[in-house]
Structure 1
Amino acid sequence: MNLIFRLLAVAAAAILSALRGRRAGLLEPSVLRFRVWPTDLDINLHMTNARYFSVMDLGRTDLMIRVGLGPAILRNRWQPVLGGATIRYRRSLRPFQRFTLASRVLCWDDRYIFIEHRMETRHGLAALAVVQGAFVGAGGVIPPSKVLAELGSTAASPPVPDAAAALRGQSLTAA
């Protein structure tokens, strides 16, 4: 709940940008700037691990709106969900420190879309994550080809990088 104001700010900026005709391409990164607030901290006084994922949610929201998926998501009542994630923490994010989040689509297969999130400070990379996402509708998982069709695209996926291939190989039903 304490991210609601960040969510509103991100969504408003993305919608205004889209209304001005500044739609991003499918493979272009979305870049957001943040600051670490006291509500983001854990007992070690750096950004808590869970907050990284919450901020990445904001990056995906911005990315979806900027590429033009907002209307299709609302019209089709799709829900964006994650099926897996891997993250590498490189540097702590300290109180009041500024950082950027760059989110971009890496590739897709017949079921999932893979997105990279890079959190960086002026000192370098703080965290790098790759997530496996999908859109779910009334009939189940929406194939990425149908999602792309909503954008007027029939583009082929870029090559699958190793980080995405590792997520693809994981079975979510074999627990």
Structure 2
Amino acid sequence: MNLYLRLFLLLFRLIGLPRTGPLEESRVAFRVLPNDCDVNLHMNNGRYLSFMDLGRVHLVAQIGLLPVILRRQWRAALGAAEINFIRALAPFQKFELVTRLVTWDDKYAYMEQRFESGGVLCAHAIVKGLFLDARGKVSNSTVVAELG
């Protein structure tokens, strides 16, 4: 992830965020800045993946898992991502990143992430991720047990 200032601002905005259920959507508003764009004057395709990292951080915090991750020293890892680019996001355009947990098995959590601007879908992704600790993969049954 290379959006450290936006990560800091996101973490600041998370203070006092009410906890929600794990299947509820996370919504975060952003604006395309000039340094997010490529020579074609739209958001660079690689930048979408960095924003998706921020969306997953927001979701994890929203469901109350962030303190657990910090306490247990887990690391998040992305196993795969499939993204479809539908409409370009232009410089200074506002967009909302919507992240939701779709399903999980014992190893991976599968999430949907959507980039929407003015109610219009601009990009859609499905990702699978997991948590790692010092010994390796953390099972999702352990993650769910930690959530209570």
List, as ranges, runs of 4+ consecutive aligned residues in structure 1 with deviation greater than 4 Å: none
Distance 1:32 1:84 in 2: 22
Residue of structure 1 equivalent to 2:37: 41
Residue of structure 2 equivalent to 1:159: none
Distance 2:106 2:142 in 1: 10
The gaps in structure 1 that reach 5 residues or longer are 153-175
Contact map agreement 2:2 2:50 (CA 8 A) in 1: no
Deviation digits for residues 59-102 of structure 1 (CA, Å, limit 9, x no counterpart): 00011111111111011110011000100110000000010000
Deviation digits for residues 9-66 of structure 1 (CA, Å, limit 9, x no counterpart): 111112321xxxx101100011000100001000101000011010010000011111
Structure 2 counterparts to residues 1-175 of structure 1, below 5 A: 3-17=3-17, 22-122=18-118, 124-152=120-148
AA matched with 2:104: W
The gaps in structure 2 that reach 5 residues or longer are none
What's the CA shift for 1:138? 1.0
Distance 1:63 1:15 in 2: 13
What's the CA shift for 1:143? 0.6
The answer to which structure has the higher strand fraction is: 2
Contact map agreement 2:33 2:91 (CA 8 A) in 1: yes
Change over 3 Å in CA distance of 1:129–1:151 after alignment to 2: same
Query: CA-atom RMSD, angstroms?
Result: 1.2
Distance 2:12 2:143 in 1: 23
Distance 2:118 2:108 in 1: 32
Give secondary structure in 1 for the equivalent of 2:21: coil
Deviation digits for residues 110-155 of structure 1 (CA, Å, limit 9, x no counterpart): 1000111000011610000010000000111101111011101xxx
Change over 3 Å in CA distance of 1:80–1:94 after alignment to 2: same
Question: Percent same amino acid at aligned positions?
Answer: 48
